[in-house]
Structures are given as structure tokens and as C-alpha cells.
């Protein structure tokens, strides 16, 4: 099976907007925290798969190709859903373009084999929560250097 993916959107790669954003990946869900806004997010099913693929270095085109092989759905619908989800992640400042990886190739460590019965494709959903904004914005993790937590910025002697 040969997939034709629209590459006019660019085969762009992204990275987590760290140290402002951290995440914890579970078996079939990821929880993402944006410390500057105080919002936290959850993604599951296809959203979780897209998030994990982005984190592992897959380009937007590679994400679409992988999901198109795995799920039953029109490639155009998968491509649109992936693009919209990535746009939402960008809008929330959870990811940023990874300009340092333009020549890097994604290495899919999972099998490219798909079962003969594909699951129906469900568009990804980014669940946003703001109920802990006050606590997350006050978190001492903001006082870290560029290497991230737990490396605290040195105090200025002036």
C-alpha cells in the first residue's frame, strides 16, 4: 500500500517547549503541564499517539503516514486531523518548531506491520484544564536555569 501525503504543509518537526512544558506519558494517555500559563492538558487515543510521535522526533508527514497505516480512515481526513491537532499544540505553546532537526530522520522503533483489521480513526482531542493555574504558576520550578528542574538559577549578588 502506497500513501500519498500532501507535503505542502512541510514535513516539519517539533519539540516540546521546554523548560516551560513538561509531560508524563502513561500507557495510553499523556499529561502535559504548561507552567507559564498554569494550564495542564491530557491527550489519549490518537492524541496520545501523535504527542508521543512528535516527542520521539517524527515529522508531521511521518505522523500522518503512521496513523494512516494503523487506522481505517481516509488519508486526507487523517492528514487534516493531524495538522489541526499540531496547530492546537502550537497555539497552546506546548510545542515549537524544531529547526535544529531539519535533516534528522525519524526512526520508528515499532513495527510497521498493521493488522488486517484496522480500528476506525478518531480525531485527536486536546483536553485543557485551568483549575490549578494559581498553584502551577506559583510553583518554584519557574526559578530554574536553562537546563530545567531541579537546577536552580544562581542568585544575583547585586
Residue-wise pLDDT for 60-80, tens only, equals 999 999 999 999 999 999 999
Mean pLDDT of 103-128: 74
Name the band, by pLDDT with cuts 50, 70 and 90, for residue 44: very high
Q: What is the CA radius of gyration of the chain?
A: 18
Neighbours of 45 (CB within 10 A): 15
**What residue has cell string 491527550?**
43
Residue 3 counted as domain residue: no
More confident residue, 98 or 6: 98
Average pLDDT estimate for 86-91: 98
User: In whole angstroms, what is the distance from residue 18 CA to residue 145 CA?
Assistant: 11
Percent of the chain with pLDDT strictly greater than 90: 57
Average model confidence (pLDDT) across the chain: 81
Bridge partners for 95 per DSSP: 16
The answer to whether position 110 is within a domain reads no
Q: Is the pTM value of this prediction over 0.85?
A: no
Place of cell 518548531: 97
Is the residue at 54 inside a domain?
yes
Cβ atoms of 54 and 94 closer than 8 Å: no
Residue 150 lies in a domain: no
Query: Which residue in the block uniquely carries the three cell numbers 530545567?
Result: 148
- pLDDT winner (highest mean) among 89-93, 134-138, 150-154: 89-93
* 32 part of a folded domain: yes
Determine, yes or no, domain membership for 96. Answer: yes
- 50 DSSP 8-state letter: H
Number of structural domains, the chain? 1
CB within 8 Å of 99: residues ≥ 6 apart: none
Q: Is residue 73 part of a domain?
A: yes
Residue numbers of the domain that contains 131: 15-102+122-139
**Domain annotation covers residue 42:** yes
The 10 Å Cβ neighbour count of residue 119 is 12
Amino acid at each position: 500500500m502506497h500513501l500519498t501525503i500532501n507535503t505542502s504543509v512541510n514535513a516539519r518537526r517539533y519539540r516540546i517547549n521546554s523548560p516551560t512544558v513538561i509531560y508524563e506519558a502513561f500507557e495510553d494517555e499523556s499529561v502535559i503541564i504548561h507552567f507559564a500559563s498554569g494550564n495542564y492538558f491530557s491527550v489519549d487515543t490518537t492524541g496520545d499517539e501523535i504527542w508521543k510521535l512528535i516527542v520521539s522526533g517524527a515529522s508531521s508527514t511521518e505522523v500522518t503516514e503512521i496513523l494512516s497505516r494503523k487506522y481505517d480512515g481516509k488519508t486526507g481526513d487523517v492528514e487534516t486531523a493531524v495538522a489541526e491537532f499540531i496547530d492546537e499544540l502550537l497555539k497552546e505553546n506546548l510545542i515549537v518548531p524544531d529547526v535544529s532537526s531539519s535533516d534528522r530522520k525519524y526512526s520508528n522503533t515499532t513495527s510497521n506491520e498493521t493488522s488486517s483489521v484496522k480500528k476506525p480513526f478518531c480525531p485527536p482531542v486536546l483536553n485543557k484544564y485551568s483549575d490549578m493555574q494559581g498553584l502551577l504558576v506559583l510553583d518554584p520550578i519557574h526559578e530554574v536555569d536553562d537546563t530545567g528542574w531541579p537546577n536552580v538559577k544562581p542568585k544575583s549578588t547585586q
